[in-house]
């Protein structure tokens, strides 16, 4: 059966539901229509062994849980579990098939979006905890994907690793900004509210434990190079606990002064990530990895210059120096590549 027939069949289900509802004047809003359509699409996934209905289903339950009113995000998880057997079937057939790769990309992005929606609806102080939760989620994706895809595939064929890497990088870069810690400080200032500290531990500890297990598995499989990026949730959790301790007994006006230590900690961690990525790329001769590492360093340097009161002339000089560094490194690696080819 062609892909077009599967595609048309999936949308025909929704058209049939709409037609029946209009004919018999069945009451219900757009959210109930979308949920009914998605549930009726699940049998198509398994009866037709089709990927298009699976993609449509994931997109549909994401839109329903996030965009169709509050209180739906929690139900995303049992709905998403209905499609897991399809993942297992595709993985057993071919772990590196295009069908599974595309489905993994869609599901991973859907998963990351719905995590935030679930936290926002279910937990208090969600804004202050979102960095901790997402750092753990991205680390699990990164380390789990590293254990799953061990053949050195490209970034497109490793959706878990790619999304995890991008997510960890973004979270840690945000936490290098002192203003972010000032906003988090409001949570530390209200830490005496009932259950707030227990909530932090209940969310942070499971993510830390899972990260430890995955890190140990990576080390056993000779993937120690993954450790530096994989320890991000441990660094975030440690920064949270340290900052919470600093502001727990302080006044509201003292919060900005207590943000210096965690800010410096994450600037050092992000700088280490950039240096390690650059050195790893130079050793392996991978130009893309070198550029990625230098991009991290450049982003950190430029961000700190915009935060401070440095004049425009000095900023311009730094821009030029960073650009020269990019060009010089690329030229050196290109010459090495030509010499090896000869």
pLDDT in tens, 293-339: 888 888 888 787 776 655 566 666 666 776 676 677 667 666 665 55
Give residue 169's pLDDT: 93
Confidence of residue 166 (pLDDT cuts 50, 70, 90): very high
pLDDT in tens, 261-279: 888 889 889 988 988 888 8
Region 4-13 average pLDDT: 64
Mean per-residue pLDDT over the chain, rounded: 77
Q: For the chain, what is the HEC assignment? A: CCHHHHHHHHHHHHHHHHHHHHHCCCCCCHHHHHHHHHHHHHHHHHHCCCCHHHHHHHHHHHHHHHHCCCCCHHHHHHHHHCCHHHHHHHHHHCCCCHHHHHHHHHHHHHHHHHHHHHHHHHCCCHHHHHHHHHHHHHHHHHHHHHHHCCCCCCHHHCHHHHHHHHHHHHHHHHCCCHHHHHHHHHHHHCCCCCCHHHHHHHHHHHHHHHHHHHHHHHHHCCCHHHHHHHCHHHHHHHHHHHHHHHHHCCCHHHCHHHHHHHHHHHHHHHHHHHHHHHHHHHHHCCHHHHHHHHHHHHHHHHHHHHHCCCCHHHHHHHHHHHHHHHHHHHHHHHHHHHHHHC
**Model's pTM, two decimal places?**
0.82
pLDDT in tens, 182-228: 777 655 444 444 454 555 566 667 777 888 888 888 888 877 778 88
């Amino acid at each position: 059966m062609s892909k077009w027939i599967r595609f048309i069949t999936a949308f025909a289900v929704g058209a049939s539901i709409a037609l029946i509802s209009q004919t018999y004047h069945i009451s219900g809003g757009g959210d109930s229509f979308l949920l009914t359509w998605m549930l009726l699409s699940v049998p198509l996934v398994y009866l037709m062994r089709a990927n298009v209905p699976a993609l449509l289903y994931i997109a549909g339950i994401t839109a329903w849980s996030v965009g169709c009113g509050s209180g739906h995000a929690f139900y995303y998880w049992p709905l998403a579990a209905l499609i897991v057997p399809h993942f297992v079937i595709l993985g057993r057939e071919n772990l590196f098939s295009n069908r599974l790769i595309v489905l993994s990309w869609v599901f991973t992005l859907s998963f990351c979006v719905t995590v935030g929606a679930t936290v926002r609806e279910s937990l208090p102080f969600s804004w202050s905890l979102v960095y901790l939760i997402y750092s753990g989620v991205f680390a699990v994706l990164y380390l789990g994907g590293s254990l799953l895809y061990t053949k050195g595939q490209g970034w497109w064929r490793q959706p878990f690793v790619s999304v995890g890497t991008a997510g960890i990088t973004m979270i840690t870069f945000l936490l290098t900004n002192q203003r972010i810690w000032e906003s988090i400080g409001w949570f530390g200032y209200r830490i005496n509210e009932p259950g707030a500290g227990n909530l932090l531990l209940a969310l942070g500890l499971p993510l830390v434990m899972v990260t430890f297990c995955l890190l140990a598995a990576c080390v056993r499989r000779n993937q120690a190079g993954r450790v530096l990026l994989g320890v991000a949730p441990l660094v975030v959790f440690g920064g949270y606990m340290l900052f919470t301790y600093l502001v727990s007994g302080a006044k509201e006006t003292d919060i900005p002064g207590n943000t210096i230590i965690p800010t410096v900690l994450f600037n050092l961690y992000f700088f280490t990530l950039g240096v390690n990525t650059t050195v790893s790329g130079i050793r392996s001769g991978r130009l893309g990895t070198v550029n990625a590492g230098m991009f991290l360093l450049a982003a950190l340097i430029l961000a700190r210059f915009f935060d401070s009161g440095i004049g425009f002339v000095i900023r311009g000089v730094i821009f030029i120096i960073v650009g020269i560094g990019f060009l010089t490194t690329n030229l050196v690696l290109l010459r090495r590549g030509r010499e090896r080819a000869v």
